[in-house]
Amino acid sequence: MKKIVIGISGASGSIYGIDLLKKLKQYKDVETHLVMNKWAMENIKLETPYDPQNIIEMADFYYDNNNLGASISSGSFQVDAMVIAPASMKTVAGISIGFDADLIMRAAGVMIKENKQLILVPRETPLSAIHLENLTKLAKLGVHIIPPIPSFYDKPKTIQDIIDHQSMKILDSLGIQNNIETRWEN
């Protein structure tokens, strides 16, 4: 059983985390552990047709972002990977300096200290030098940075096509076989 933590922070683009969670639900050998912050829940209501409770019900386990004693806050709780989609620049900054202000940041810090896979889907533009320094610092530590940049070689026709491509890239990085989206062939 592969255990994956999904963090949804307060940046615009909560649909990326939601779509990933929905796609992971299709894999019987994947267990999902979800944590969302307050602003993620607000963005879900603003940007999607979902209610935060709908998203919580998609996960196998859910943790309150203020509960720094949750199992995912400890290195002794075995998980395989964590994805933060979207990752706000506040969350990225907190992770990059080891500031465990909430459970999302703490769980990400645990992934780094335990040498486990951490994937960030940063959602901000333009990126300032501070943002780039924080992301570079994390990339040098082995964190996978997968910004939601659409491809056009697959000729997307809908927003869902663009979201699917992003989920495919994340699943690929997690080592999960998938045929969600058209791949480059020449």
CATH for 64:
3.40.50.1950
Is residue 136 in a domain?
Answer: yes
Whether residue 181 is predicted with pLDDT greater than 80 in this model: the reply is no
Whether residue 160 is predicted with pLDDT greater than 80 in this model: the reply is yes
pTM: 0.96
Q: For the chain, what is the mean pLDDT?
A: 96
The count of domains in the chain is 1
Highest averaged pLDDT of the listed ranges 118-122, 153-157, 179-183: 118-122
Is residue 43 in a domain?
Answer: yes
CB atoms within 10 A of CB 62: 18
Domain span at residue 69 reads 2-149
Whether residue 20 is predicted with pLDDT greater than 80 in this model: the reply is yes
The whole-number pLDDT of residue 121 equals: 98
Is residue 166 in a domain?
Answer: no
Is residue 181 in a domain?
Answer: no
The backbone torsions φ and ψ at residue 63, rounded to the nearest 5 degrees and listed phi first, read -130, 140
Is residue 114 in a domain?
Answer: yes
CA–CA separation, 3 and 144 (whole Å): 17
Is residue 168 in a domain?
Answer: no
First to last CA, the chain: 36
CB atoms within 10 A of CB 99: 13
The whole-number pLDDT of residue 180 equals: 82
